[in-house]
Structure 1
Amino acid sequence: MKDAVPPPEDAPLPEAQGVYSKFETELQVRPDDIDMYQHVHSSRYMDYVLAARFDQMERCYRMPMAEFQRRGYGWFMAATQMNFKRPLGLGDRVIVRTWIERFTLIGVKVQFQIERAADKKLSCDGWFDYVMVSMETARAVRLPEDIRAKYAI
């Protein structure tokens, strides 16, 4: 009998997907977010998601980024997909909604939506693949079980 081949490190873990909590953070479009076309520059949408995740790590998951750093871990973005639907303008307030879609052995896939608060219209959606890394080596490490458990809500 052949030995079982371990799954790739980025393979989804065998558990239900799409059952994790969704969290929201409200942000305001700032003057420096605006590009020459008088709407939010595409790169700022990534900043909005990262700011929301930073807020939600502390407020919702009760494990802020400082705790990861204290333990010698960080999160690297491995891949992203962003789908732009409607522009945002100066002064708009936005709701950034994020949730974990799935865990892998070394990270998570996070889905997001950004909507204009005033009319609830979707402006952008997509996903980020994050990989947990050792801050000492900058190499991927397995996601510790206690961290996965804290984020699997």
Structure 2
Amino acid sequence: MSNFKKFKTNHKVRPDDIDMFNHVHNSKYLDYVLAARYEQMELYYGMSMEKFLELGYGWVVHKVHIEYKRPLQLSDTFEVETGIVDITSRGCKVEFTITNLKTNKTSTIGWFYFIMINLKTGKSISIPEEVVKLYSI
């Protein structure tokens, strides 16, 4: 599988996102991507995180890579674009780009590798075929 769609979600920097250097703290960028994926699961894949939980599934972060290009600052509005680039039997790789909408410049790029787990056991499981089909858009 190689053709997956990318989706965009907009957010605004909040005062509690700012660190002592007067820009967004590095950890907040990861939060921005996770918040965008949470929203996109329901809007674009048709299966919310709540539905995953009801079915006894969860997604956990196995690996993450992030490159900071330009800082976001207070009140900046930004776009988080994410998209699956690979699905394996037990996980998926999601790339992301965060763009400052005021300057239209890339702030951050990177990827997450998520593993699907069984919530009862906490162990990784094979991704059910119906989930692979939902994500293969």
TM range (shorter): over 0.9
Q: CA deviation at 1:120?
A: 1.3
Question: Aligned residue for 1:121?
Answer: 105
Q: CA deviation at 1:119?
A: 2.0
User: Which has the larger share of helix?
Assistant: 2
Counterparts of 2:89 and 2:4, CA distance in 1: 17
Q: CA deviation at 1:85?
A: 0.1
Deviation >3 Å, runs of 4+:
none
Q: CA deviation at 1:73?
A: 0.4
Question: Aligned residue for 1:5?
Answer: none
Secondary structure of residue in 1 paired with 2:115:
strand
Which whole-Å deviations, capped at 9, do the CAs of 1:54-78 have from their partners, x for residues lacking one? 0000011111001100000000100
CA-based RMSD of the aligned residues comes to 0.6
Counterparts of 1:142 and 1:36, CA distance in 2: 43
Secondary structure of residue in 2 paired with 1:60:
helix
Secondary structure of residue in 1 paired with 2:20:
coil
- 1:108 alignment partner AA: C
TM-score, normalised via structure 1 length = 0.88
2:126 paired residue among 142, 145, 149: 142
Counterparts of 1:47 and 1:111, CA distance in 2: 14
Identify unmatched segments of 5+ residues in structure 1: 1-14
Question: Aligned residue for 2:90?
Answer: 106
1:34 paired residue among 13, 18, 29: 18
Question: Aligned residue for 1:82?
Answer: 66
User: Which has the larger share of strand?
Assistant: 2
Secondary structure of residue in 2 paired with 1:69:
helix
Kindly, what percent of the aligned residue pairs are identical? 44
Question: Aligned residue for 2:55?
Answer: 71
Aligned residues: 137
Rg: which structure is higher?
1
